[in-house]
Amino acid sequence: MDAFVQSLKTLRFEASLDENEQLRATNLRKRVHASTTAICALGTVFCATLSEIRQWIHERNHGGHDHKGITVGVIGCGRVGQQIIKCLLNYGRCSPSDILVSTRRPDTLKRLSDLGVDVGFNNARVARSVHLLFIACLPSQLPDVSKSIAGCINFSTLVFSVVGGMPVTKISQLLNFKNIVKPELELLPLDGLSDYPSDTSIDVIDFLRDPDLCSLVYSKSGSSMLIQRDSDWQVGLLLSCLNICTLCQLTAQESFKCLNAVIFPSLSTPLHISINDLRMPRTPGDEKRQLPFWTLLTATAKQPKLKAKLRTAEVCEGFSKKFLSMFKWSKML
């Protein structure tokens, strides 16, 4: 019946629109699809990179490849939350047992449960049990979610917010937590979406699997992308990686060696980001001491030298290659 109705053009929303209005409606759907895809992709790269950092440290300390990845929590499992989980399972270096989900309707996620994902409705349990916590609820639900996890988030946990329409400072205030990152995306104007696929029913997993489509979300040439990312997201990723190194008691020198090996493996020069790119008090011998633990909400805005480094051609190319390489393989779950 649904297929029959969809084939009747007169019953479609666009039937009552003129040509210009139909184009605008199409572009609006493209914007929604593009923003969802970008958020899922950035969150997946964040998760996979942090897991690779921990793997690098494990191999350095113990050898072998048997290290368990990071544990990930998702609070809120609507359309965006489910897409994030699918991306994590396919591209995020996560096994189903690494993911904990809290949703008001766990019965609707039977397929995820059957795969081995821990699905329930206990926000506090998820918040206190994970290394990386995605907050994917609606803005109207965030006050209640915040109350349910008050005091439950470990100081070392990283919160990745995908709550739309709310600044990260407000989210931080509600959660009473500052180790938080929220990518701010700026979509190109509607008339700049001509290169984006017209078929907005394409699944995010399939979209990211296509190198040409994936490059629309992230490429080294910012002018060619349909979505512009703020550099704070990149700074937040780098500082989060360094925080893991600090928690694992690596020195500054070892931390930057790890960071560059994981994020910039394809570049020719051996060191791309160094302690000299950070804004922090300096004393002789800093390289042999541990770095501070960075609070992302405040630290990301106070790194002008690091942001300038991220804009250099070589580092831009390295970041782009790293991003695109994340989606070259898939578990096809």
Residue 4 confidence (pLDDT) above 50: no
Count CB-CB contacts under 10 A for residue 2.
Answer: 6
Closest CA to 162 of 41, 286, 316: 41
How high is the pLDDT of residue 295?
A: 93
Residue 64 confidence (pLDDT) above 70: no
Strands (E), 193-271: 227-229
Lowest mean pLDDT across 25-34, 75-84, 263-272: 263-272
pLDDT, tens digit, 9 for 90 and up, residues 106-121: 888 888 999 999 999 9
Positive or negative torsion for Cα 187, 192, 193, 195: negative
Average pLDDT over residues 124-149: 96
Residue 315's contacts (CB-CB under 8 Å, 6 or more residues apart) are 264, 272, 273, 309
Residue 241 confidence (pLDDT) above 50: yes
Residue 75 confidence (pLDDT) above 50: yes
Proportion of the chain above pLDDT 90, given as a percent: 49
How high is the pLDDT of residue 57?
A: 93
Average pLDDT over residues 130-147: 95
Closest CA to 182 of 283, 38, 82: 38
| Confidence category of residue 15, pLDDT binned at 50, 70, 90 | low
How far apart CA 177 and CA 303 sit, in angstroms, is 20
| Confidence category of residue 5, pLDDT binned at 50, 70, 90 | very low
Average pLDDT over residues 254-261: 94
Q: Which of 59-73, 227-241, 292-306 has the highest mean pLDDT?
A: 292-306
Answer for the pair 274, 312: CB distance below 8 angstroms, yes or no.
no
How far apart CA 125 and CA 102 sit, in angstroms, is 9
Query: In whole numbers, what is the pLDDT of the chain averaged over residues?
Result: 85
Lowest mean pLDDT across 16-20, 38-42, 60-64, 138-142: 16-20
Average pLDDT over residues 41-64: 90
Strand partners, 229: 185
Residue 266 confidence (pLDDT) above 50: yes
Residue 291 confidence (pLDDT) above 90: yes
Average pLDDT over residues 127-139: 96
Lowest mean pLDDT across 59-73, 75-89, 315-329: 59-73
pLDDT, tens digit, 9 for 90 and up, residues 86-107: 999 999 988 999 999 999 888 8
Residue 50 confidence (pLDDT) above 90: yes
How far apart CA 62 and CA 66 sit, in angstroms, is 10
Proportion of the chain above pLDDT 70, given as a percent: 84
> Model pTM?
0.88
Residue 187 confidence (pLDDT) above 70: no
Closest CA to 41 of 175, 188, 229: 229
Tokens of 275: 């302690």
Average pLDDT over residues 286-313: 89
How high is the pLDDT of residue 257?
A: 93
Positive or negative torsion for Cα 193, 216, 34, 223: negative
Q: Which ranges constitute the DSSP H helices of 63-156?
A: 79-91, 110-115, 123-129, 142-148
Residue 122 confidence (pLDDT) above 50: yes
